[in-house]
């Protein structure tokens, strides 16, 4: 289907740009920083000949990784 990966790229650009999805913080300036990162990643994978499904998995892993990195560590409580 045409345009199905654009949703993932949009979400990835927002998360990689540093916007926090859980608390609604972020801004346009952060998303603008995330767009070139995802565009270069997507273009590089395409030039390497990686198929569409594998590219989506890799970009999804980048989104998950960026989400984990951008968490506020002070708010995470460790259960002992």
pLDDT in tens, 10-26: 777 777 776 666 565 66
User: What is the distance between the alpha carbons of residues 13 and 33, in angstroms, rounded to a whole number?
Assistant: 8
Q: Please indicate whether residue 17 or residue 44 has the higher confidence score (pLDDT).
A: 44
Tokens of 29: 């300036």
Domain ranges of the chain: 27-67
**pTM of the shown model:** 0.68
* Strand (E) or helix (H) holding 27: none
The mean pLDDT of the chain is 76
6 sits in which H/E element: helix 4-16
């Amino acid at each position: 289907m045409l345009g199905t990966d654009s949703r993932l790229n949009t979400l990835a650009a927002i998360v990689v740009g540093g916007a926090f999805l859980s608390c609604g913080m972020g801004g346009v300036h952060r998303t603008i920083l995330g767009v070139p990162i995802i565009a270069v990643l997507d273009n590089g994978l395409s030039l390497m000949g990686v198929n569409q499904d594998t590219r989506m998995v890799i970009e999804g892993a980048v989104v998950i990784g960026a989400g984990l990195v951008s968490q506020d560590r002070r708010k995470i409580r460790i259960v002992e």
